[in-house]
Amino acid sequence: MDDLFRIANLVVLPGWALLLLVPHWRYTQRVCALALPLLLGSLYIGLMSAGLGEGGFDSLENVMKLFRQPRAVLAGWVHYLAFDLFIGAWIVRDAAAAGVPRWIQAPCLVFTFLLGPVGLSGYFLTKGLMKRQWGPQV
């Protein structure tokens, strides 16, 4: 489980580097919104198909029981990695379409990488403030 954890963490790093450094390269979206999330999704499916044992998703108590198991914790972590990267790729696409400057996108991407919903919320907030200040073109 520890090796899979390290590998999953390493797998997403090139994707985040692409989003931050070369967001408009022709392969960035293919890697970050498709290839890496599918790879992580396959790992997730494998972890989930092995069974999760005790616990479940129907109550907080059962979720706590579930996440006492290393395989379930790893599956949850892989879930976060895949979705956060996918959301980062979406932010880059949406920002490009809306004309949101890179200097605004970059911190939102970093926060999405580190804190998921904080980065996405920051992007929505910043984009909304830009619309108010600069008009509907954003």
pLDDT digits (tens, 9 = 90+) for 67-113: 999 999 999 999 999 999 999 999 999 999 999 999 999 999 999 99
Report yes or no on 121 lying in a domain: no
Domains of the chain: total: 1
Residue 119 domain flag: no
For the cut 70, the answer to whether the pLDDT of residue 63 exceeds it is: yes
pLDDT at residue 18 greater than cutoff 60: yes
Q: What percent of the chain has pLDDT over 70?
A: 95
pLDDT at 51 over 90: no
Counting residues of the chain whose pLDDT is more than 90, the rounded percentage is: 83
Q: How far is CA 74 from CA 44, 125, 131, in A?
A: 8, 31, 39
**Residue at 13 is within a domain:** yes
Q: 94 lies in which domain range?
A: 2-98
C-alpha 87/C-alpha 111 separation (Å) is: 11
Asked if the structure places residue 16 within a domain, the reply is yes
The whole-number pLDDT of residue 84 equals 98
- Both tokens of residue 1? 């489980």
What mean pLDDT is predicted for residues 25-46? 97
Selected residue with higher pLDDT from 104 and 137 = 104
Q: Above 90 in pLDDT, residue 56?
A: no
Would you list the DSSP string of 23-55? TTSTTHHHIIIIIHHHHHHHHHHHHHHT---S-
Structure confidence at residue 138 (pLDDT): 53
The helix/strand/coil state of 68 is coil
Q: Quick check: 137 pLDDT over 70? A: no
Distance, first Cα to last Cα, the chain:
44
How large is the greatest C-alpha to C-alpha distance in the chain, in angstroms? 53
Q: Is residue 36 a part of any domain in this protein?
A: yes
